[in-house]
C-alpha cells in the first residue's frame, strides 16, 4: 500500500468518528415531560375538531348477531348531532338528533323525546348495543374525541410508558377504578382509552387515523367503541368534512313515520 495513503485513511476515520460522536439536537423523551404537559397537549388535540359532516360505515357486534349499514353523521360541539341509519336503498331506518335542548329518537319500535342532558339507550339507533349515553358523549365519539373527557375531569393523571405509547392514568374514576389513555408520543393523538363507569361498567375506545391531515387536523378514519361484550365500529368515508358551518335545522327531527323500516340483523361468517 502506498504509505502516503495511510494518513488520508486515518484522517477520514477521525472525521467519521467525530461526526458520530457530535452532540445531537435535543429530542424530547416521554420521561422528560410531566403528566400535566402530556395531558395538556392531548387535550388541545382532542378538542381541535368542532364539527363533522360525513358518511360512515357502521358495524355492530352483539352476542349472536352482527349488523352493518351506512350512517349519515352530522355533529357539532358540544351536544348537537344528527345520525341517520340508511338501508341499502338509501332510506332512513333509524334516526337520532339533538338540538342541545331535546334528544329525538325515531326507530321502527320507538319515537321518544328526551331532555338534552338525559341519557338515552344507544340500541334505538344501534340495535343490540344496549348502552345508555348522553348526547354530549355521543358527539364526542363521532368527532373523534374521547367519549368521556378525562382531560377536563379535574383529576391529576399519572404518566408512564406502555411499549411505544405514552400512558396517562387517571385514578378515581366514576366506577371506582382508573381511566387510562394511550397517546402517540410524536403527535399526542389518542390511540386508545379505557374507562371505569358507574355501576361497574367498563368501556374502551380505539382509533386508527387517516394517513394524512384532514382539513389540517388529525382525524380518525376508524373508531371502535366496546362495552359489556358489545362493540360498534365507525369507518368514515374519504369525503369527511371537518369544522365547516352546519345548518342548525339539521339537528331537528324531520324523518317521517313512513321512512322508518326495520333494521334486520345480518350474520357474517
pTM beyond 0.85: no
Fold of 33-149+219-259: outer membrane lipoprotein receptor (LolB), chain A (2.50.20)
* 67 CB neighbour count, 10 Å cutoff: 21
- How many CA atoms lie within 13 Å of 45's alpha carbon, on the beta-carbon side? 21
pLDDT at 27: 36
Integer-rounded Cα Rg, in Å, for the chain is 24
pLDDT at 193: 97
Only one residue has cell 378514519, namely 221
Taken in order 30, 32, 36, 40, the sign of the CA dihedral is negative
The whole-angstrom separation of Cα 185 and Cα 14 is: 36
The whole-angstrom separation of Cα 74 and Cα 80 is: 8
Taken in order 149, 151, 155, 157, the sign of the CA dihedral is positive
Cell of 91: 332510506
ω before 108 within 30° of 0 (cis)?
A: no
pLDDT at 122: 76
Cell of 65: 348477531
Please report, for residues 45, 144, 155, 167, 192, the alpha-carbon distance to residue 172 in angstroms, rounded to integers and kept in the order given.
24, 24, 8, 16, 19
**Segments of the chain scoring below 70 in pLDDT:** 1-31, 109-110, 125, 127-128, 254-269
Encode 105-119: b = buried (16+ Cβ within 10 Å), e = exposed: bbbeeeeeebeeeee
Amino acid at each position: 500500500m502506498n504509505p502516503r495513503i495511510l494518513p488520508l485513511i486515518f484522517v477520514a476515520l477521525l472525521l467519521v468518528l467525530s461526526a458520530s460522536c457530535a452532540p445531537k439536537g435535543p429530542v424530547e423523551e416521554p420521561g422528560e415531560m410531566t403528566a400535566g404537559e402530556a395531558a395538556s397537549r392531548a387535550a388541545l388535540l382532542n378538542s381541535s375538531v368542532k364539527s363533522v359532516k360525513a358518511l360512515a360505515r357502521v358495524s355492530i357486534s352483539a352476542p349472536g348477531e352482527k349488523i352493518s349499514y351506512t350512517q349519515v353523521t352530522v355533529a357539532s360541539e358540544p351536544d348537537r348531532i344528527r345520525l341517520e341509519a340508511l338501508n341499502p336503498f338509501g332510506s332512513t331506518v333509524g334516526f337520532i338528533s339533538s338540538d342541545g335542548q331535546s334528544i329525538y329518537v325515531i326507530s321502527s319500535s320507538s319515537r321518544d323525546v328526551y331532555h338534552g342532558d338525559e341519557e338515552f339507550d344507544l340500541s334505538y339507533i344501534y340495535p343490540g348495543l344496549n348502552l345508555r349515553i348522553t348526547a354530549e358523549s355521543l358527539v364526542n365519539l363521532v368527532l373523534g374525541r374521547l367519549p368521556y373527557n378525562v382531560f377536563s375531569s379535574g383529576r391529576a393523571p399519572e404518566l408512564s410508558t406502555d411499549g411505544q405509547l405514552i400512558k396517562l392514568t387517571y385514578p378515581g374514576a366514576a366506577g371506582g377504578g382508573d381511566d387510562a389513555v394511550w397517546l402517540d408520543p410524536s403527535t399526542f393523538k389518542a390511540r386508545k382509552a379505557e374507562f371505569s363507569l358507574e355501576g361497574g361498567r367498563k368501556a374502551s375506545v380505539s382509533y386508527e387515523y387517516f394517513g394524512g391531515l384532514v382539513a389540517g387536523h388529525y382525524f380518525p378514519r376508524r373508531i371502535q367503541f366496546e362495552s359489556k361484550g358489545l362493540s360498534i365500529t365507525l369507518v368514515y368515508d374519504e369525503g369527511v368534512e371537518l369544522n365547516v358551518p352546519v345548518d342548525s335545522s339539521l339537528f331537528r327531527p324531520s324523518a317521517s313515520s313512513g321512512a322508518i323500516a326495520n333494521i334486520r340483523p345480518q350474520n357474517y361468517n
